[in-house]
Amino acid sequence: MKRERFDKMNVVPFIDIVLVLLVIILATSTFVKNKTIVVDLPSASSKKSEEKKTIHIAIDKEGKYFYNHEALSLDIIKEKLIKLDPKKDLVSLHMDKASAFEYFVSVIDILKNKGFENISIITKQ
């Protein structure tokens, strides 16, 4: 049995793999750049405007709680959150990166027990 000499290399599979990777990179890079997918929503005649409140809860590095830029204790914030509608209202949580994780968990625990669905954790880029 005589062996064939290896003179040529088949590059077609290599080109296929490179093209697939290129398509994946180009498709995902547009989402990273825009950070959102633009959707043009349809309109309806029975449009109802919802009054959504945005509540800002902040925790500084010393563990002080702020409810809409007002310094309050965790118990008072809990009472205020219980009065809100968890389906309509949006809660944005601002945390100092030097604060203890337990402060974050205490607020998230209150929000999840109440059933809040719209929670934003605000970060900087």
pLDDT digits (tens, 9 = 90+) for 59-99: 888 888 888 888 889 899 889 888 888 888 888 888 888 88
Indicate the CATH number of 54-122 among 3.40.50.2300, 3.30.1180.20, 3.90.25.10, 3.30.420.270. Answer: 3.30.420.270
The mean pLDDT of 20-49, rounded to a whole number, is: 65
Contacts of 65 (CB under 8 A, 6+ apart): 57, 58, 59, 71, 72, 73, 74, 77, 103, 107
Our CA angle for 71, 69, 124, nearest 5°, is 120
Provide the whole-model pTM: 0.55
Residue 20 pLDDT greater than 90, yes or no: yes
Instruction: Report helix, strand or coil for 48.
Output: coil
Contacts of 94 (CB under 8 A, 6+ apart): 56, 57, 58, 59, 122
DSSP run (H or E) holding 70: strand 70-72
Output the furthest CA–CA distance in the chain (Å, rounded): 88
Instruction: Report helix, strand or coil for 93.
Output: strand
Give the closest residue to 87 by CA, choosing from 111, 50, 115.
115
Supply the pLDDT for residue 18. 93
